[in-house]
Amino acid sequence: MTTIVVVRKGNEVAIAADSQTTFGDDQKLLAGYDRFHDKIFRIGEHHFAIAGSAAHDLVLQNALRSLKTRDLSSRAGIFETFRKLHPKLKDNFFLKPDEEEDDPYESSHMMLLLANSHGIFGVYPMREVYEFSRYWAIGSGRAYAMGAMYNCYQDELTAAQIAERGIMAGCEFDLSSALPMSLYTFTLGKE
C-alpha cells in the first residue's frame, strides 16, 4: 500500500514515493516512527521503488547486489536481469512463486518502478517490463497520482514538479499513503 510515481519530461527523470507503511487493514507506520521510511533505494545510478509486501525491499536490494552482472539500461536488459533474479529469489530468499493456477509463469510477486539515466520503467510480477514515455504510478494511490499527473503534464512544469503533484494527490486521498515524500531527479543520458 503506497503511492509511487516516475516521470519523464524533456531530459529530466523523476521518481517519488510516499513514506507510510501499512500493516493489514488497521495499522500504519508513519515516517516519524520509521528510521528507514524512504521507499526508494539506489543501486549505482538506478533508483527502485516497490509496491506490495514490505518484505520485498531488503530482499530485492540484496538479490540485485548479489548478481554478478546486471543490465538495467533497456527493456530487454531489465527483463534478462529479472529473469536471472527469479531463481535466486526462490532459492536464496524462499520466494513462494505460486499465484493463480492458470498463470502462464511463476510470479515474483513484485511490482516496481525503476528510474535511471536511460528512462523510466515498470517491472511486474511475471517479469513483464514496460518502458514509459511520460509517467506512471503504482500502489494503492496510483489512480489519484495518475489523474493528477495527467492533469498537469502539459503544463510548464518539470518532471520533479509533476511527480510531486502525483504523490500529493495519492497522499491526499489514499488511506495507505502519507507524506513526507522522497523525490529524486536526474538527467537522461544521450541515446
The tens digit of pLDDT for each residue in 39-94 reads 999 999 999 999 988 889 999 999 999 999 999 999 999 999 999 999 999 999 99
Cell of 155: 503544463
Helix (H, G, I), strand (E, B), or coil: what is residue 123?
Answer: strand
Q: What is the mean pLDDT of residues 118-127?
A: 96
Show Cβ contacts of residue 21 under 8 Å, excluding neighbours closer than 6 positions: 28, 29, 34, 37, 54
pLDDT of residue 135 exceeding 80, the answer is: yes
2-185 is classed in which CATH architecture? Answer: 4-Layer Sandwich (3.60)
Q: Can you tell me the distance from the alpha carbon of 83 to that of 111, in angstroms, rounded to the nearest whole number?
A: 14
